[in-house]
A and B are shown apart, each in its own frame.
Chain A
Amino acid sequence: MTLSFAVIGHPNEGKSSVVSTLTERDDIRISPTPGETEHSVEYTVELDNKPLISFIDTPGFQVPKKTLKWLSRRPLDDDAQTLSDAFEQAYSGRSAYVHDIRILRAVAGAHGLLYVIDSSKPIGPDDLAEMEILRRLGKTRMAVLNSKEDDSEYEEQWRAVLNRHFNAVRRFNAREAAFDERIRLLSALQLTDQHWESTLDKVINALSIDRSRRFGSAADIICSLIEDCMSKTIKASLKTADKPEDVQKSMMPSYTGWLREREEKAFKELRSEFRHRHFEMDLNSEDLMVHDLFAKETWRVLGLTRRQLAIVSALAGAAAGAAVDLALGEITFGVFMAGGAVLGGFSGLAGSRPLSRVKVRIAGMRQQLGQQYIELGPPKDIQLAYILVDRALLYLDTVSQWAHARRESADPKNVISSLPLTRQWSRKKQAVLSRFALKIIKGKAAEQELDNLRIVLIDVIKAVEEGREL
């Protein structure tokens, strides 16, 4: 059974916004100009090609009082389809009635109605007429208060009237509704009609599974980003007259450029995973937290603190040293472990500057023959991995919560507070990322570490989603 809901309302109350957010379609035309929607358009949510639920975006009522007047002259036992057909017949060819004809047609074909109102506006006679029309059409209906909580001065007044006309009344701010708010709306719809329970159950279940899948994909995208960036090398040939330091310096912009592009590609993948085609968030603006990937400010605010980085690096160094000690039958009495810890600690302290350490290697045949080359990369400090993860999570957090009806550019400052940055992670979680990054830097296979990082990332992403502490 495919459930269909006609989304009805006065012009410019946000019907298209509600449909856009409910269906995750950011290509639905939304405009502050009233009357942008001229036709009824059905958006169907399909599960594996099987239509489950559809939302019909309708134009706004244009002549509600006249429509109501006409309806009141009709026999009481006329159903919605009969009324719609008769109304169309009566007013066909009259341009003022075109939208109302389309609305009645949509209502007649729908199982239920979502009546969208903006509770920041007082109730007018047209609104009362519209509610009466919907009541007269006899469909199960829910009123949706599409406004911000702090911008709904007439909400009580509205609720008092709506409760008389509708089976359920629910606030749903289409421009800010996150995933759980959408689910709550669908759950509320379930309660309005028993016949819808199983279909809506399927929809809610499918959306939740899809959401989890997206988080998994997002974690994979971030893992791939770390993998690619932490193993990136570029090469340039070294001629007789070239000074290696100069060549290295000239290679840096293209190296960092590649990393930036790779990050942008990951962001694009995240956007597409959450079905945002027009979403924009300027991570290179002048705001705090959203400087360029290699800006000093980014490296100061994101990633681990100097102390954390020193500890994590010292632990990693100690682990590597301990392996040497073990290999030598422990006759070294842990000297390598201690040395590794000290070296790691110092390198951690140095790693709080943007891309402070990148491996440089001069190799190949003789310089005179022009066969020598200089290789830049991979990055040697793991701080880059933390910065990349932080930025990706910041982006993901915004993009995953961003309602599809919102069309302005995102301001990351609004979401940063809820985000557990890597420096807020437990040491265990930080170590997982460190281990993965170090293995990648060393060019070793890191399947187990990749799995562990994936689990950590999914846990972090879900914690943000569920609003729980890490």
Chain B
Amino acid sequence: MPERWTPGDVLDYEVLLEGELSSSSHPGNSRDWFQGYKGRLIPKRIICSWLESRVKSTHTVLPGSTVNRLIRISSIVTAFFGLLAGVGLGWGGLAYSGSHPVNLFLILVLLSGIPFLLTSIAIILSFFPTGIGRSGRLTHRLIKILRGMVSFLKRLGLIDRVHADAVISGITRFRNRSAIYHSLLRWSVSSVIQLRAFCFHLGILVAVLWRGIVQDVAFAWQTTLNINPENLYRFTLFLSRPWRFFISPPALEQVEGSRIILKEGIIGLNNSDLVVWWPFLCLLILTYGVLPRLLLLGYSLIRKRIVLATLPFSDTMSKRLLMLMMAPRVEVTGDEPPREFETESSSSSTKSLKHESMDFQVLIPSYREDLMMEDSWMKYLSVYWGASLEQINAVSLDDEEDAHLLASFSRQNSGRNGLLVVFEGWRPYTAAAGLYVDSILTQLPSGTAVFAALAGRPGMGFKMEDRDKEDFRQWKRLLPGDVGSGICEIVELKGWQ
């Protein structure tokens, strides 16, 4: 598990988390992993271990290491430029020609007053609960800047395309989840800013120290305001409170001695009074510039560390991940084989068998007593078919059981005899029916008119209910026979009462 979380780890986690939750090709990866997990059942521990294992095993390019590297590089670059700016300001501010002393007020405001003001604002801001919220524009702007930076580095060739894309997609993901990580973003950005500010102040201090060591820098003050040396002395005493017990600030005489009175010029100034301000200035920058910024830097780093160390992983996606890991995974395996070829319909031919003037033997399943009405059959065959009924036979619709009946029908067949077999068309077609028809067709002389009629449910005659229509269609499709050669045709007994 990552011993100490970094922003890069968080980005890696987000990328892997999204992949895990949206993965349909490898469902249950996390559960598999969890079953081998031996650590303590604390959500954060589990997630840390999971992340570590996933980072090791994934083939995806993760943004974490690149991000951490970018943060390091940007910190170094920022620190360097901060230092440079500080040195530049300090060096330029103390530019001293040797003919006129440095204006004390100007240098105090420039090197200490303004930076101190900015430091104070930074301190106040650091106590605000949030500057970067869920929908905070600052968050989005910062992320935009970060993305821009990465794109720029990619164009420069400092990051290869694959890693740059990984970082950009990671940052985008981070933006979508900024509601959760806004504190992390805030303190990460704050750390970089404080580092830059600290280096800036350090640069000023270094420049002032260097100037004082290598040059004989003289400071003096003059004012059009009604400020007397006593006031300035009291002010210096106030400013030097943190260190005056160790190093004394300029004494009142020295303050008075470093005052330029325009009409008197600088001739009468005492050299020792003019140089006494240098240590005071150094300590001022150290106390009100460098140290507060160092504290702010430390505070930001600590807050960032705390945020990383206390990431709660209580967001909905993390909870889903934990659930996926901890709940037993129920899966169902098994696949259907490809379909076999469809049986072609036997009744597709448009040619119909003739049944006029024929004598019909009707075969009805023995359990369909409701259909064994001789009068109805006679009437029907006569009116609708122009045929006559020879006999109604109760059959089992099993070729072996009905073999003797079929044999006798075959023997009696005079060429004018027809056969009408009633099947239950509301029941699914089975191969048994096919075998029965096959048996009839093989036993009867070629050219015998064999008809099949499909009965509906008991009591329904030959009417099909809507729920049975599919079975009926299936019968018509699958019942063997060849209408073209004159054997077996399915007929609908319309008009049956």
CB-based contact A125/B336 at 8 Å: no
> A65 an interface residue at 8 Å Cβ cutoff?
yes
With beta carbons under 8 angstroms apart, the residue of B134, B136, B323 that contacts A217 is B323
CB-based contact A63/B435 at 8 Å: yes
Interface centre among B133, B335, B432 (most CB of A within 10 A): B432
Contacts of B434 in A (CB 8 A): 96
> B303 an interface residue at 8 Å Cβ cutoff?
no
CB-based contact A233/B135 at 8 Å: yes
Segment at the B interface, from A34-42, A299-307, A350-358, A425-433: A34-42
Which residue of the partner chain A has the closest CB to B332?
A23
With beta carbons under 8 angstroms apart, the residue of B136, B336, B398 that contacts A39 is B336
CB-based contact B333/A444 at 8 Å: no
Contacts of A217 in B (CB 8 A): 320, 323
With beta carbons under 8 angstroms apart, the residue of B179, B323, B334, B457 that contacts A445 is B179
Contact with A along B458-478 (1 / 0, CB 8 A): 100000000100110110001
Band of interface residues on A: 35 or more
> A391 an interface residue at 8 Å Cβ cutoff?
no
Segment at the B interface, from A45-53, A236-244, A308-316, A328-336: A45-53
Segment at the A interface, from B81-89, B195-203, B293-301, B423-431: B423-431
- Bound together, the chains give a CA A54 to CA B133 distance in angstroms of 52
CB-based contact A445/B182 at 8 Å: yes
> A126 an interface residue at 8 Å Cβ cutoff?
yes
CB-based contact A47/B329 at 8 Å: yes
> B386 an interface residue at 8 Å Cβ cutoff?
no
Q: Which parts of B287-323 form the interface with A (CB within 8 Å)?
A: 312, 314-317, 319-320, 323
Min Cβ gap A187→B in Å is: 17
- Bound together, the chains give a CA A227 to CA B180 distance in angstroms of 12
The majority secondary structure among interface residues of chain A is mixed
CB-based contact A220/B432 at 8 Å: no
Contact with B along A383-423 (1 / 0, CB 8 A): 00000000000000000000000000000000000000000
> A435 an interface residue at 8 Å Cβ cutoff?
no
CB-based contact A47/B320 at 8 Å: no
Min Cβ gap A212→B in Å is: 8
Q: Which parts of A266-282 form the interface with B (CB within 8 Å)?
A: 272
Which residue of the partner chain A has the closest CB to B429?
A34
CB-based contact A62/B337 at 8 Å: no
Contact with B along A61-79 (1 / 0, CB 8 A): 1111110010000000000
Contacts of B474 in A (CB 8 A): 33-35
- Bound together, the chains give a CA A377 to CA B317 distance in angstroms of 24
Segment at the B interface, from A249-257, A319-327, A447-455: A447-455
> B396 an interface residue at 8 Å Cβ cutoff?
yes
CB-based contact B331/A46 at 8 Å: yes
> B327 an interface residue at 8 Å Cβ cutoff?
yes
- Bound together, the chains give a CA A17 to CA B136 distance in angstroms of 52
- Bound together, the chains give a CA A33 to CA B428 distance in angstroms of 8
CB-based contact A451/B179 at 8 Å: no
Min Cβ gap B18→A in Å is: 12
Which residue of the partner chain A has the closest CB to B470?
A32
> A95 an interface residue at 8 Å Cβ cutoff?
yes
Which residue of the partner chain B has the closest CB to A228?
B176
CB-based contact B134/A121 at 8 Å: no
Contact with A along B215-229 (1 / 0, CB 8 A): 000000000000000
CB-based contact B135/A378 at 8 Å: yes
- Bound together, the chains give a CA A96 to CA B429 distance in angstroms of 12
Q: If A48-B328, A122-B458 touch, does A231 touch B135 (CB 8 Å cutoff)?
A: yes
> A216 an interface residue at 8 Å Cβ cutoff?
yes
CB-based contact A34/B337 at 8 Å: no
Contact with B along A196-230 (1 / 0, CB 8 A): 00000000001101101100110011011001000
With beta carbons under 8 angstroms apart, the residue of B24, B137, B312 that contacts A447 is B312
Q: If A34-B470, A34-B474, A210-B328 touch, does A44 touch B431 (CB 8 Å cutoff)?
A: no
> B340 an interface residue at 8 Å Cβ cutoff?
yes
Min Cβ gap A66→B in Å is: 7
> A10 an interface residue at 8 Å Cβ cutoff?
yes
- Bound together, the chains give a CA A469 to CA B137 distance in angstroms of 44
Q: If A48-B31, A445-B182 touch, does A125 touch B367 (CB 8 Å cutoff)?
A: yes
> B400 an interface residue at 8 Å Cβ cutoff?
yes
Contacts of B458 in A (CB 8 A): 122
Contact with A along B177-192 (1 / 0, CB 8 A): 0011010000000000
With beta carbons under 8 angstroms apart, the residue of B316, B339, B431 that contacts A96 is B431
Contacts of B432 in A (CB 8 A): 62-66, 96, 126
A-B contact pairs, 30 of them (CB 8 A): A10-B430, A23-B332, A32-B470, A33-B474, A34-B470, A38-B340, A45-B332, A48-B32, A48-B329, A49-B32, A51-B333, A54-B334, A63-B435, A64-B430, A65-B396, A66-B432, A97-B431, A124-B427, A125-B396, A126-B430, A213-B323, A224-B316, A272-B24, A378-B135, A443-B133, A444-B130, A447-B312, A450-B314, A450-B315, A451-B314
4 tightest Cβ-Cβ pairs between the two chains A and B: A34-B428, A43-B334, A62-B431, A213-B327
A12-B428, A60-B430 known, 12 other contacts, Cβ within 8 Å: A10-B428, A29-B336, A33-B474, A34-B429, A35-B428, A38-B339, A41-B334, A48-B35, A97-B431, A221-B316, A447-B314, A451-B314
